[in-house]
Amino acid sequence: MKSVFVLVCLAFCSTDAQLKWSAITSAGDSWPSERAGASFGYDPWSDTLILFGGGSDSTWVFDLSNSAWSEVMDSEYTPPSRSYAYHGLIRFGGEFGTSLFVVSHGIGSTEEYEDT
Protein backbone atom coordinates (compact mmCIF):
# COMPACT_ATOMS: atom_id res chain seq x y z
CA MET A 1 0.00 0.00 0.00
CA LYS A 2 1.38 3.42 -0.96
CA SER A 3 0.55 6.87 0.35
CA VAL A 4 0.43 10.31 -1.22
CA PHE A 5 1.13 13.28 0.99
CA VAL A 6 -0.77 16.45 0.14
CA LEU A 7 -0.84 19.86 1.73
CA VAL A 8 -4.43 20.40 2.88
CA CYS A 9 -5.85 23.88 3.22
CA LEU A 10 -8.25 24.18 6.14
CA ALA A 11 -10.93 26.84 6.63
CA PHE A 12 -11.71 27.26 2.92
CA CYS A 13 -8.23 28.57 2.06
CA SER A 14 -8.76 32.02 3.53
CA THR A 15 -5.73 34.23 4.07
CA ASP A 16 -5.51 33.13 7.71
CA ALA A 17 -6.10 29.44 6.90
CA GLN A 18 -4.07 26.68 8.50
CA LEU A 19 -2.15 24.26 6.31
CA LYS A 20 -1.23 20.72 7.29
CA TRP A 21 0.20 17.64 5.60
CA SER A 22 -2.15 14.68 5.26
CA ALA A 23 -1.38 11.15 4.10
CA ILE A 24 -3.77 9.71 1.55
CA THR A 25 -3.44 5.94 1.20
CA SER A 26 -4.32 4.17 -2.04
CA ALA A 27 -6.98 1.47 -1.81
CA GLY A 28 -6.14 -0.04 -5.20
CA ASP A 29 -3.34 -2.34 -6.27
CA SER A 30 -1.84 -0.10 -8.96
CA TRP A 31 -0.05 3.21 -8.51
CA PRO A 32 2.53 5.34 -10.32
CA SER A 33 6.25 4.72 -10.06
CA GLU A 34 8.36 6.97 -7.88
CA ARG A 35 9.42 10.15 -9.61
CA ALA A 36 11.11 13.51 -9.04
CA GLY A 37 10.12 16.92 -10.38
CA ALA A 38 6.71 15.72 -11.58
CA SER A 39 3.78 17.99 -12.40
CA PHE A 40 1.04 17.50 -9.83
CA GLY A 41 -2.32 19.25 -9.65
CA TYR A 42 -5.78 19.11 -8.11
CA ASP A 43 -9.00 19.22 -10.13
CA PRO A 44 -11.76 20.41 -7.77
CA TRP A 45 -14.51 19.61 -10.29
CA SER A 46 -13.68 15.89 -10.40
CA ASP A 47 -12.06 15.78 -6.94
CA THR A 48 -8.93 14.16 -8.37
CA LEU A 49 -5.17 14.64 -8.18
CA ILE A 50 -3.30 14.58 -11.51
CA LEU A 51 0.32 13.42 -11.85
CA PHE A 52 2.51 13.65 -14.98
CA GLY A 53 6.21 13.44 -15.78
CA GLY A 54 9.04 13.39 -13.30
CA GLY A 55 11.07 10.90 -15.33
CA SER A 56 8.07 9.05 -16.76
CA ASP A 57 5.77 9.82 -19.69
CA SER A 58 2.77 8.30 -17.91
CA THR A 59 -0.15 10.26 -16.52
CA TRP A 60 -1.98 9.09 -13.40
CA VAL A 61 -5.14 10.26 -11.64
CA PHE A 62 -5.87 9.72 -7.95
CA ASP A 63 -9.62 9.72 -7.27
CA LEU A 64 -10.14 11.18 -3.80
CA SER A 65 -13.66 9.76 -3.57
CA ASN A 66 -12.50 6.12 -3.69
CA SER A 67 -8.76 6.51 -2.86
CA ALA A 68 -7.58 4.73 -6.00
CA TRP A 69 -4.97 5.48 -8.67
CA SER A 70 -5.68 4.89 -12.36
CA GLU A 71 -3.36 5.40 -15.31
CA VAL A 72 -4.65 7.63 -18.10
CA MET A 73 -4.08 5.96 -21.44
CA ASP A 74 -4.20 7.93 -24.70
CA SER A 75 -3.66 5.91 -27.85
CA GLU A 76 -3.23 9.01 -30.02
CA TYR A 77 -0.64 11.12 -28.17
CA THR A 78 1.49 11.06 -25.06
CA PRO A 79 3.73 14.07 -24.45
CA PRO A 80 7.41 13.37 -23.90
CA SER A 81 8.51 12.76 -20.32
CA ARG A 82 9.81 15.81 -18.52
CA SER A 83 10.59 17.10 -15.07
CA TYR A 84 10.27 20.55 -13.53
CA ALA A 85 7.65 21.68 -16.04
CA TYR A 86 5.23 24.56 -15.72
CA HIS A 87 1.71 23.28 -15.23
CA GLY A 88 -1.79 24.39 -14.40
CA LEU A 89 -5.44 23.46 -14.61
CA ILE A 90 -7.84 25.28 -16.93
CA ARG A 91 -11.63 24.85 -16.85
CA PHE A 92 -13.86 25.52 -19.88
CA GLY A 93 -17.66 25.51 -19.85
CA GLY A 94 -18.45 25.99 -16.18
CA GLU A 95 -19.66 23.25 -13.83
CA PHE A 96 -20.33 20.70 -16.59
CA GLY A 97 -17.38 21.68 -18.75
CA THR A 98 -13.98 20.20 -19.42
CA SER A 99 -10.84 20.42 -17.29
CA LEU A 100 -7.47 20.59 -19.05
CA PHE A 101 -4.22 19.88 -17.23
CA VAL A 102 -1.65 21.89 -19.21
CA VAL A 103 2.08 21.06 -19.08
CA SER A 104 4.67 23.32 -20.68
CA HIS A 105 8.47 23.43 -20.88
CA GLY A 106 10.55 21.26 -18.55
CA ILE A 107 13.67 19.12 -18.68
CA GLY A 108 13.71 15.77 -20.51
CA SER A 109 16.34 13.05 -20.33
CA THR A 110 18.27 14.47 -23.31
CA GLU A 111 16.81 17.95 -23.93
CA GLU A 112 14.99 20.95 -22.51
CA TYR A 113 11.45 21.58 -23.75
CA GLU A 114 10.15 25.04 -24.59
CA ASP A 115 6.69 24.06 -25.74
CA THR A 116 3.12 24.67 -24.67
Contacts of 33 (CB under 8 A, 6+ apart): 56, 58
| Distance, C-alpha 4 to centroid of its chain | 11
User: Among 108, 20, 84, 38, which Cα is nearest to 49's?
Assistant: 38
Contacts of 19 (CB under 8 A, 6+ apart): 7, 8, 9, 10
Higher pLDDT, 115 or 30: 30
Q: pLDDT tens digits for 24-75?
A: 777 777 888 888 888 888 888 888 888 888 888 888 988 888 888 999 887 7
Higher pLDDT, 37 or 88: 37
* 3-class DSSP assignment, residue 73: coil
Average pLDDT over all residues of the chain = 75
